[in-house]
Structure 1
């Protein structure tokens, strides 16, 4: 595939985004590896339950990144740089408010939420400990989302990469020290992640403050702007709720299969997430390029970039399939899995690998439509694809985690159909600021 000018534009945004996105799941993968070596299978299962809850909370708020990227990119394409930065500042204030609300609401509900997964008493106790400590990092996590969205919208994916790498390195060091060195148990893993995320958020705030000063953009919260940022993300919230329903149903079914199945599923989920974020790098480029092109009124460029990014998605997914199959025998040892967990993990890695090319196309089209501001369609598509998934998941409940993962494949195929149908039309090609 010859490299064109368009490819270089995609790569300029996608390569740094790739590094930043991969660093995010590496936070939890590092926790899994350290907890697995130091605390055993029960703690890994507890981390899987708490991690699912935290991932749900963060992903419900992912509109802070996606919505901000789309709005800032569109305003940038239209030449409204001050309005672009104002949108970013409002997004950060909204992130802080939501983070504080999550602490207030979820802290007392942590035992109830964990019990919904049906974990054993030992797993439940450790999951509650990890979840409650991690909630203290919620404002930082959400500021990172909003700050990342601002910089992506400004066509800067290099700075998020630097912040992500620094945060990951700090997280790994603190987790090893707190869990293996100081013997703090699963609480040490949570504290290490909270500190790393909060410091990363402080860096983003500093970057946005300096950029706002150059443009003379006020830093005080604008109630109208914060309200607009929250309402604009409502459709993306519905889309994200549907995504999380799919994943929460899956881990709930895996929990009821047994401790070995749950541990294997938890590890496989983190591997899948890392692969998904890898493919999402192209989708991030799609958000930024599409928003900028439509803001400038150039539908031809938006359409051409979409076609090229779909090609990149297919090839990237195929490469990831080969990578997973190549490293598959080594992965159980990385997490110090016992024989039962190893058997389950080796089996489930087959469907994890084989669905990657489909994931590549789905993620690209999702990013393009987010960048275009086509949130209403994405919300409805999320509802229909979830309804397609649920019967397959319940049929798989009595047939092991490989069948459960094949049900997730049914969901991805449904997403491919709904997103592909939309992208071939013209309704999403809305131009202007």
Structure 2
């Protein structure tokens, strides 16, 4: 069965709340599924002790890097596909997804080879505890078998969002999530595999979803062969997103390395806090996904005024959405540490994180919504420059200064706060200027 969403009609006004919700709610399910699974994984492994939890924290860095590569593929594909879709050329939109899928396969095999060859040294770089490093390296080598499917999932979501179909990815990801949610505790405890059981559950769930996304692409009846000229265009378009992602990864990796050398309890608490932050971030990103699809389609349909009006509406929706998450985090903060660890030392370290996480929710709601607007518009050079500036002048200085001044997790997360505030200021200035709204089937 062929997916059949049709190109939108040209609108000179903002997209309706119904349109935004129809795209954002299924995207929310997809975005929330992976971090929820990681939270389940963290809770399951956390009760094995601080060492397995710290090992999972290091292993999760590999998934974060793969997720970053996948996000580059998905966001770049969505922006290009949405413009083609908005101009009335669905076949060209899906063709972007085909080439994105080939890029995903190529990138996944490179990542797989790196992990298998260097898992030991990578793990040792993030901890001074040999036991933690050994457990993390084993987890990474097993979980790496799911990398091809993980990137296929990202590429599939990219082109489907571009043609404004967020319901099909939701169904595929929910199937994989349910499999993982059952397998993880089963393999870790009753089967008795411990920490490696969580890695195996990752691989099985990711493989199922990857196959489903490939089947959906085949049903589109388009040319599935790699096209060098289109691959080259995608690589050029993704270059700015890649640099943007590198800046973010430098921040995440630095934070994990510093936390790991403070103490095992500090790294374990950082893992819990980071997974909660990623869950909130990806859930808030649902508005950004709607923004990517709608803004790209409106600009592709040459509706500049409609795109600007939609961007303003998304700003207010993002702020309200962030406020909801602030209230949820505030309500749950007294009990969350105990849900993810039974180690009192980890509970103490968690106290240094929650204040920052709570107050950043409204900021994150606006920033992520407008990230989606500018990515949908293809304003990728600005996104690159903004993120690099926020990393260099915000998060990294705080993180690197933490060991010298003994700030611990408080300093690392203060850096995250600076990173987000700098992005907020710069992206609001960009939105106000209006230079991002370039119309046409592709951005010049």
Question: In the alignment, which residue of structure 2 is the partner of 1:15?
Answer: 25
Deviations 1:366-401 (A, max 9, x none): 111100011111111122111112222233341121
Other structure's SS at 2:16 match = helix
Cα distance in 2, alignment partners of residues 118 and 77 from structure 1: 49
Q: 1:171 aligns with which of 172, 180, 191?
A: 180
Asked if 1:26 corresponds to 2:36, the answer is: yes
1:46 equivalent to 2:55? Answer: yes
CA distance in 2, matches of 1:293, 1:405: 37
Map 1:76-225 → 2, pairs under 5 A: 76-210=85-219, 212-213=220-221, 217-225=222-230
Cα distance in 1 between the residues matched to 2:114 and 2:236: 21
Contact 2:15 2:310 in 1 (8 A): no
1:63 is matched with 72
* Paired residues of 1:392 and 1:407 also in contact (CA < 8 A): yes
Q: Output the CA distance in 2 between the equivalents of 1:53 and 1:119.
A: 18
* Conserved 8 A contact 2:70-2:150: no
2: CA distance, partners of 1:350 / 1:168: 30
Q: Which residue is equivalent to 1:228?
A: 233
Structure-1 separation of matches of 2:127 and 2:340: 23
**2:317 matched to 1:312?**
yes
Gaps of 5+ in 2: 1-13
- Kept in 1, the 8 Å contact 2:36–2:279? The answer is yes
Could you list the runs of 4 or more consecutive aligned residues of structure 1 that deviate by over 4 angstroms after TM superposition? none
Deviations 1:14-54 (A, max 9, x none): 111111100011222121111122x2111000000110232
Question: How far, CA to CA, are the matches of 2:330 and 2:84 in structure 1?
Answer: 43
Alignment partners' CA distance in 2, 1:248 and 1:319: 29
User: The residue matched to 1:431 in structure 2 has which SS?
Assistant: coil
The within-5 A match list for 1:261-410 is 261-389=266-394, 390-397=396-403, 398-410=406-418
Aligned-pair distance for 1:405?
A: 0.9
In angstroms, what is the RMSD of aligned CA positions?
1.4
SS at match of 1:136: helix
Unaligned runs of 5+ in 1: none
Q: Give secondary structure in 2 for the equivalent of 1:181.
A: coil
2:429 matched to which residue of 1?
421
Instruction: Give distance in 2, aligned partners of 1:240 and 1:22.
Output: 20
| Mapped partners of 2:342, 2:69: distance in 1 | 31
d(CA) in 2 for partners of 1:218 and 1:191? 34
